[in-house]
A = this chain, B = another copy of it.
């Protein structure tokens, strides 16, 4: 018990999601990730089973097993888990993400810009439409906060890539 573990972004996603709704089963986490967070930072469903177990073993979550039916495991934050989450959220980070974009990687290695741009433009436009629809839905529901802000970041991101690939599509 209380094994020392390293907390990864995945750890904080699990902590953050469980905290937001008080308690959750892995399957519920899966649904939440699919519903929105996934386009910012996706998590494989298998990890939503293994990661809570790891976190429980280290004292950040407490685990309660349903006695009937599927005997699901439900998790909730411990005091220690809440503290870890709060510290992490409160500590600003200067870390930058790499671009890690497959299309750009191919471009780097010599792919034909115009051809690639056609395919990429289509994908980015579709993603932009999805983000805008999600944001509008949240706004209609009167939601504010981080979820809306990150969607707006995603929208700006997509618009920028649409500008970039548009230029290449036109041979610019």
Contact = CB atoms under 8 A, between A and B. Distances in A.
A30 B41 CA distance: 28
* Secondary structure type dominating chain A contacts: helix
B149 A156 contact: no
Contact of A100 (B97, B124, B147): B97
A151 to B, nearest CB: 9
B101 A145 contact: no
Nearest to A90: B111
B110 A93 contact: no
Contacts of A41: 98-100, 105
B145 A110 contact: yes
Interface in A120-152: 120, 122-124, 127, 145-147, 149-150, 152
A106 interface: yes
Contacts of A16: 108-109
B123 A12 contact: no
A83 to B, nearest CB: 14
A127 B96 contact: yes
Interface residues of A, number: 61
Interface in A68-119: 85, 88-90, 92-113, 115-116, 118-119
A147 B93 contact: no
A169 to B, nearest CB: 12
Interface of A: 9, 12-13, 16, 20, 37, 39-42, 85, 88-90, 92-113, 115-116, 118-120, 122-124, 127, 145-147, 149-150, 152-154, 156-157, 159-161, 163-164, 168
